[in-house]
């Protein structure tokens, strides 16, 4: 497939990408969380092509993106009260809500489920493209299945050149981790994936919100994940990665360095001066939003520098830190060292 590259998101480029999507094509577009690989959400064939381009398993559903709240009534059969409260508070923004799906959304899009994930992004380029395409856009993250989500145009170019109709540059994604996902499909609201909108903020807005066990733990063989994506291996660099919890982190990693010169530390900015080995810092220890923004690029950097043995510094599990922790334990394949 021939890919069109749009290096700036000017008016003309936005128009062209919107036309490609309206015509049944697929395109990588920027959002504030990560880049998405978009297709007309109502078009079965276009959505099937998204799965093919990513190498994504067919039972892992896509998120449907809107640019106007009125579009939601074409997508869901019910818009629960609490979901409306969250929509008013956090949309447009990095929050995805799962509700009962309407018949207009094909089963291909929803991975065979009778529910659908909906998000109203706030990135101006995403907003314009959805508006001009005149249809909601189904979009998973625009990476190849298994690699870290793309937060820059170049990440998309590296993963998807020749596999999609277009890629458009909208700068680097400032949130840096995928949207928070909350499900309204069951009795009680459940947080399925933590993100920039935090569990604490959700509870403050609507009261009780359960935390899905898959957020912090590895599910056992045969256990069913509420969010199908949680069961797949994610974000994993090629080298062996362990997460190190507790102190003294630098002493521990320096000890490993003496045994094996291949060691790389995926650490906080403040750790760099204390470490003997190569380092890939992913933000200040005091700033979990910065950690979120930089994590995926740092994971890709580990592969670029050929890191074989990586010790990753554990983030905190509150606020946006919960999102960082959730991605990092997957990158580590749940290999955790407690000091
Ligand atoms: O920030 C984001 O959410 C980005 C941008 C592009 O919007 N998108 C994204 O999509 O991260 P993706 O496909 O990489 O992750 C979507 C997650 C998957 O884990 C999937 O299983 C889950 O959402 N999901 C989608 N629809 C669902 C549904 N109906 N029920 C449960 N989980 C669902
Ligand atoms: Mg993804």
Could you tell me the distance, in angstroms and rounded to a whole number, from the CA of residue 140 to the centre of ligand 1? 6
Question: Cα(160)–Cα(178) distance, rounded to whole angstroms?
Answer: 18
| Ligand minimally distant from the alpha carbon of residue 51 | 1
Could you tell me the distance, in angstroms and rounded to a whole number, from the CA of residue 23 to the centre of ligand 2? 24
Which ligand 1 atom minimizes the distance to the CA of 177? 1
To which H or E segment does residue 311 belong?
strand 309-313
Per-residue model confidence as pLDDT tens digits over 271-287: 999 999 999 999 999 99
Per-residue model confidence as pLDDT tens digits over 15-71: 999 999 999 999 999 999 999 999 999 999 999 999 999 999 999 999 999 999 999
- Pocket lined around ligand 1, Cβ cut-off 6 Å: 31, 33-34, 36, 60-63, 96, 98, 110, 113, 115-117, 119, 139-141, 178-179, 181, 192, 227-230
At residue 261, the pLDDT reads 64
Question: Cα(132)–Cα(303) distance, rounded to whole angstroms?
Answer: 38
CA 267 to the chain's CA centroid = 21
**Cβ contact 102:74 at 8 Å:** yes
Per-residue model confidence as pLDDT tens digits over 80-111: 999 999 999 999 999 999 999 999 999 999 99
At residue 233, the pLDDT reads 61
Which ligand 1 atom minimizes the distance to the CA of 56? 13
Across the chain, how many H-helices and E-strands are there? 10, 16
**Cβ contact 19:129 at 8 Å:** no
At residue 313, the pLDDT reads 98
pLDDT above 90: residue 226? no
pLDDT above 70: residue 260? no
């Amino acid at each position: 497939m021939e890919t069109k590259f749009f290096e700036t998101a000017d008016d003309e480029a936005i128009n062209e990408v919107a036309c490609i999507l309206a015509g049944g094509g697929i395109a990588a577009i920027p959002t504030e969380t990560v880049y998405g690989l978009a297709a007309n959400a109502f078009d079965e064939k276009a959505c099937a092509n998204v799965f093919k381009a990513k190498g994504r398993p067919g039972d892992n559903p896509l998120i449907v993106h809107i640019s106007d709240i009125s579009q939601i009534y074409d997508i869901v059969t019910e818009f629960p009260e609490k979901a409306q409260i969250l929509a008013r508070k956090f949309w447009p923004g990095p929050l995805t809500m799962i509700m009962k799906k309407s018949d207009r959304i094909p089963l291909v899009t929803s991975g065979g489920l009778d529910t659908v994930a909906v998000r109203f992004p706030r990135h101006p380029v995403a907003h314009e493209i959805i508006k001009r395409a005149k249809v909601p856009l189904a979009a998973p993250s625009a990476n190849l299945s298994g690699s870290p989500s793309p937060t820059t145009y170049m990440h998309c170019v590296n993963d998807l050149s020749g596999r999609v109709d277009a890629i458009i540059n909208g700068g680097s994604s400032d949130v840096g981790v995928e949207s928070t996902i909350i499900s309204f499909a069951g009795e009680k609201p459940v947080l399925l994936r933590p993100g920039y909108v935090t569990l604490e903020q959700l509870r403050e807005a609507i009261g009780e919100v359960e935390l899905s066990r898959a957020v912090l733990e590895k599910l056992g063989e045969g256990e069913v994940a509420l969010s199908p994506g949680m069961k797949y291996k994610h974000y994993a660099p090629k080298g062996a990665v362990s997460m190190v919890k507790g102190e003294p982190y630098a002493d521990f990693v320096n000890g490993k360095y003496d045994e094996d010169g291949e060691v790389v530390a995926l650490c906080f900015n403040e750790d760099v001066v204390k470490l003997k080995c190569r380092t890939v810092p992913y933000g200040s220890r005091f700033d979990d939003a910065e950690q979120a923004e930089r994590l995926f690029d740092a994971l890709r950097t580990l592969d670029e520098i050929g890191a074989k043995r990586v010790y990753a510094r554990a983030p905190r599990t509150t606020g946006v830190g919960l999102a960082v922790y959730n991605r990092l334990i997957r990158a580590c394949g749940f290999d955790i060292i407690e000091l």
